[in-house]
Amino acid sequence: MTKISSSTKFNEVAAELATLNGVHKISDIVNLILQISNFKSETLKGIPTSEQYGAYSPDRFEKIDNLFVDMTYQRKVRLRKLINKLLNAGEFNKEAAGHLDVAMRGDRAFVWDGLRRAIMAAITGINYIPVSKLVHAPKASEIDMQEKEAKMFKMRNADNETMKPEEIFKSKVVYRDPEALKLLNVLKNAKLDVEGLNPSGRALGGFKLLETTLNRKIQEEYVITSSEILQKIYPNESVMSGYLLCGLSKFLEINDEFDNAKSDEQILNDLKDFVNSKPRKKQTDFTSARLNSKPLESIAYFIVKNAVKLNGNTNKFVSLLNLDNDEIDTIEDLA
């Protein structure tokens, strides 16, 4: 396997770890961390070593150097968080850490749960660690094995409050959950990216809102059009607001109900004029005046009242949002 990176800078190594994908040896990940300038001479001084923890017996446990990880379904490795855990006394303990869960792909052992514990153990100088092994079926393909591990990973970690919705979604995609694959197809059609699943797309912030409202409050066709419009209005933004994406989708859907509905081109031009007026409007200018209970309706209301003038349909549009007077007053106060 090729070396992950030759960088010795903390931020560059952290960025590499946060974007890892595919199969890697855990020892290569550890070596990448250890090659950071001054890490061994300074940072490592504050981290308890294996002598302080007590080393594992090599004849009963798996050698960390022999372990692999498939980052296709794993969570991002956040280096600073990992180092902070090691620096805080008591955050890593070999007894409390327990065993790793590994799956045997032929003669290669893949850690499907416990990657961070393996990295932390190796950093402290521990070479062997206890494992619980699952042996894949002899005739299972690489994809079959990957899907099974991803499903186990999701089942083990989905209830963990530190696991983000995007990370759960990523693991669902790998084990080919039908609903997750449908949502991934929407993201690809909308040229959006979540967790590196569509690298050529614009990164989507606020993924959870889209996941919970798609096909319930907004439809795929409007999400795609909304994304196209916003990427033209904000061509240099690296992240698209999920709230603005969904709020504009709701606006487009209601606009379509009118016989004299504004065209997508007209809406694009109106939004461009509004955004480029002084002072230039940010994505947050559309989304800050929203009700937590009705975020889509709030943003659609802001758009129709401030950015896009409909062809005599504004009052009817507002009525279709099902906002009561108190809710409208609150949105107006927040704007």
Assess whether pLDDT exceeds 60 at residue 56: no
The domain of 14 spans 10-159
Nearest Cα to Cα of residue 147 among 118, 121, 177, 108: 177
Comparing 248 with 89, which gets the higher pLDDT?
A: 248
Comparing 333 with 187, which gets the higher pLDDT?
A: 187
- Is 131 within the bounds of a domain? yes
Q: Are residues 25 and 137 located together in one domain of the fold?
A: yes
How far does CA 162 lie from the centroid of its chain?
12
- Is 98 within the bounds of a domain? yes
Q: Are residues 127 and 213 located together in one domain of the fold?
A: no
Q: Are residues 120 and 191 located together in one domain of the fold?
A: no
Mutual angle of helices 264-276 and 220-233, in 10-degree steps: 40
Q: Are residues 264 and 323 located together in one domain of the fold?
A: yes
Buried b (16+ CB within 10 A) or exposed e, 69-104: bbbbbbbbbebeebbeebeeeeebebeebeebbbbe
- Is 173 within the bounds of a domain? no
Q: Are residues 150 and 185 located together in one domain of the fold?
A: no
> How does residue 51 score in pLDDT terms, banded at 50, 70 and 90?
very low
Euclidean distance between CA atoms 3 and 21, whole angstroms: 14
Q: How far is CA 280 from CA 72, 242, 283, 284, 303, in A?
A: 39, 20, 10, 11, 15
**Mean pLDDT across 90-98:** 62
- The number of CA neighbours under 13 Å toward the Cβ of 66 is 17
- The type of residue at 287 is T
How many domains does the structure of the chain reveal?
2
Boundary residue ending a domain (159, 187, 216): 159
In contact, 261 and 255? CB cutoff 8 Å: yes
Q: Are residues 14 and 146 located together in one domain of the fold?
A: yes
Assess whether pLDDT exceeds 70 at residue 159: no
**Mean pLDDT across 35-48:** 76
> How does residue 261 score in pLDDT terms, banded at 50, 70 and 90?
very high
Chain length of the chain: 335
The three-point CA angle 105-109-111 to 5° equals 110
Q: Are residues 217 and 95 located together in one domain of the fold?
A: no
Highest average pLDDT, of 43-57, 136-150, 158-172, comes from 136-150
3-state class (DSSP) for residue 232: helix
Q: Are residues 147 and 239 located together in one domain of the fold?
A: no
What is the number of H-type helices and E-type strands within the chain? Answer: 17, 10
pLDDT in tens, 185-240: 999 999 999 999 999 999 999 999 999 999 999 999 999 999 999 999 999 999 99
3-state class (DSSP) for residue 23: strand
Nearest Cα to Cα of residue 305 among 278, 328, 277, 330: 328
> How does residue 6 score in pLDDT terms, banded at 50, 70 and 90?
confident
Q: Are residues 254 and 297 located together in one domain of the fold?
A: yes
Q: Are residues 298 and 200 located together in one domain of the fold?
A: yes
- Is 328 within the bounds of a domain? yes
pTM of the model: 0.71
Assess whether pLDDT exceeds 70 at residue 89: no
pLDDT in tens, 293-332: 999 999 999 999 999 989 888 999 999 999 999 999 999 8
CB-CB neighbours of 6 under 10 Å: 8
- Is 1 within the bounds of a domain? no
Boundary residue ending a domain (159, 186, 217): 159
